[in-house]
Structure 1
Amino acid sequence: MSSIWVYPGQGAQKVNMLHDLPEHRLVQHYLERASVALQRDVLTLDQPDELRSTEAVQLCLYLAGYISSAILLNEQVQPDYVAGLSIGAWTAAAVAGVYSFEQGLKLVSLRGKLMQDAYPSGYGMTAIINADKSQVSQWVAEVYQQMGDVYVANLNAANQIVISGSELAMQQVIEIAKSQGAIAKKLNVSVPSHCELLDAQAQQLVQAMAHIDLNPAKFKYLSGTSARLIHKAEQIKEDLIFNMCRTIDWESTVQASWERGVRLHIEVLPGSVLTGLARKNFKEGNILSFQGTRLDSLICAMHKESA
């Protein structure tokens, strides 16, 4: 049996998320390295005003995920698989050694800036709950024909579909969804991720990463967009670059890990959203989140799974 470590995307951020990292020598070590690499005090990034910035949010998620993984790896345990939702994939790749901690920081910073500069206001994402993909796709298509700028973005679970686009167009979809008995929840994301509105920004990342040599992943890398196992460094690069403008299929990614024999699912910091999404597939497995679980319990679960 195998284990997977999963990395959340935007929406999982919270104020003081870096200040609230565990008391561990590696926390200060990596925060200091990050501050040097970015030439700014990263402990300012998790404050309310900063977290209005897509760049700050993505950097915080990267740091929290990478550092909590480093704490686990320091205990001589490691995952068989890694996977991340949206920006989480960039953290997963860094933990798998595809690029260095500092390289990842700078790339995540660039990614966040490109996204926020393209859509500083008037756009975002909304989760539609208690409706399936076919229903939401139909509602989105109806509104798109009239207004454009709205897309199906994330397939998080069978009954949780996320849409992306302009606030005005999303509001029309929300009204249709509510009239059909569905629930709509605006996400704490200020850009229209996982749709063609970010095609141009992905192309800018292609240029920025053209001369960066990446390493093969030392842990098996599952794509959060295609739910496929990707081995080659160049293929992982392509997957990372374009995940901002491609639909996320997290439901299939979790299912793919189960079908490959994964029975221990650990969500690293921050949050536990992915833990909740995994429960349907992992009825007979073990689902844990770094948040709210003692470190020794996580280590024990990892040792049991590898025994």
Structure 2
Amino acid sequence: MKKTAFIFPGQGSQEVGMGKAMYDFYPSVKKMFDDADDVLGYSLTTLMFEGPQEELTKTENAQPALLLNSVAINHVLKEEGIKPSMTAGHSLGEYSALVASGSLDPMAAVQLVHTRGKLMEEAYPTGKGSMAAVLGMSQEEIEKVLEGFNDDEPVDLANINCPGQIVISGTKEGVSQASEQLSEAGAKRVLPLNVSGPFHSRLMKPASGDFADHLSKNSISEASVPVYANVTAGPVTEADEIEKLLVKQLYSPVRFQQILEAFVEEDVDAIVEIGNGKVLSGLVRKVKRRMKTFNVQDPETVDQFIQWYKEES
């Protein structure tokens, strides 16, 4: 049996039309999409297939849409007897990873991330927060610049994605000032991101209390395979620990580079991105150029991966 790590994309990977080919081809996927519409009380499926993009991109819609798409694809693989050896997800994608690891029920997860998206939107006034990708600087160099930012205009590390690509998050003015200082300090580029809030920064802490209350009402089970947590970059299986880390994840940096490095150390045969887009596979190649990767997002790529997985080594 091949040793695989499944990784799941987060917010920003959404696009109108995602999931339609899977919905049309697999009856089990259609059922999951229909069930999600029922539990949410509105047609997420129509929004995913027809848009508009602006509505789909709203955090409270993008999060359940991306999760639903990923877990439906994973369900097809599960029906084929394919189970990962370990999982992880980028921010929101961690919830898809928990579903794939048997820790969360798919429909409970759809509702949970819909609520999470709403709380994240409400945690800080729209338009007052910002995020930016810093290219070509080390974590230590960025942290040195950010030391000069206090609680008046806080700026934090948000996503440590891969060597030379780190995202910062904070107030709009703070991120603007930090971007200038980082450019002067030697960053190749600092690119503002099209997001609605200062995610994975201390400014998200107000959302964490309400979210913890919602999370406690959900049944989180022990994971059947290790989930590598965003907050620690280490494996976790125990339900209580998973719950604590999901709350911390709201205001802590996503340590995705360290997660990928851990997967490389585990000597997996392939790292498999399940869901829309190829963003995470690109990060894998920055960490380990020769690592075998798959993007599984439609019937054709599902079939290609299944064929490889079932080939005799």
**CA distance change for structure 1 residues 37 and 211 in 2, over 3 Å: closer, same or farther?**
closer
Kept after mapping to 1: 8 A contact 2:224/2:237: no
Query: What TM-score do you get using the length of structure 2 for normalisation?
Result: 0.90
C-alpha separation between the residues in 1 aligned to 2:220 and 2:266?
A: 26
Kept after mapping to 2: 8 A contact 1:18/1:60: no
C-alpha separation between the residues in 2 aligned to 1:168 and 1:84?
A: 30
Structure 1, unmatched stretches of 5+, are none
Structure 2 counterpart of 1:245, from 248, 251, 264? 251
Kept after mapping to 1: 8 A contact 2:155/2:170: yes
C-alpha separation between the residues in 2 aligned to 1:91 and 1:219?
A: 13
C-alpha separation between the residues in 1 aligned to 2:197 and 2:151?
A: 21
C-alpha separation between the residues in 1 aligned to 2:5 and 2:306?
A: 13
Q: Give the deviation of 1:38 after TM superposition.
A: 0.8
The SS at the match of 1:10 is: coil
* 2:303 paired with 1:302: no
Q: Give the deviation of 1:147 after TM superposition.
A: 4.9
Q: Deviations over 1:113-150 (max 9, x none)?
A: 100112322223211111111121122223x1495221
Structure 2 counterpart of 1:177, from 179, 182, 195? 182
Q: Deviations over 1:266-303 (max 9, x none)?
A: 00111111101111443443111114862222112323
The SS at the match of 1:300 is: helix
For 1:271, the aligned partner's letter is: G
Task: Name the counterpart of 2:262.
Answer: 256
How many residues are aligned here?
Answer: 305
The SS at the match of 1:247 is: coil
For 1:43, the aligned partner's letter is: T
Task: Name the counterpart of 2:8.
Answer: 7
The SS at the match of 2:269 is: strand
Query: What TM-score do you get using the length of structure 1 for normalisation?
Result: 0.92
Question: 4+ runs of 1 displaced by more than 6 Å?
Answer: none
The SS at the match of 1:115 is: helix
Q: How high is the sequence identity, in percent, across the aligned residues?
A: 25
Task: Name the counterpart of 2:144.
Answer: 138
Q: Deviations over 1:41-72 (max 9, x none)?
A: 11243322313421111111111111111122
Q: Which structure 2 residues correspond to residues 1-307 of structure 1 after superposition, within 5 A? A: 2-19=3-20, 21=22, 23-46=25-48, 47=51, 48-119=53-124, 120-142=126-148, 144-145=149-150, 147-179=152-184, 180-291=186-297, 294-304=301-311, 307=313
The SS at the match of 1:294 is: helix
C-alpha separation between the residues in 1 aligned to 2:46 and 2:123?
A: 24
**CA distance change for structure 1 residues 44 and 172 in 2, over 3 Å: closer, same or farther?**
farther
**CA distance change for structure 1 residues 146 and 38 in 2, over 3 Å: closer, same or farther?**
closer
C-alpha separation between the residues in 2 aligned to 1:242 and 1:63?
A: 23
Q: Which moved more, 1:105-114 or 1:284-293?
A: 284-293
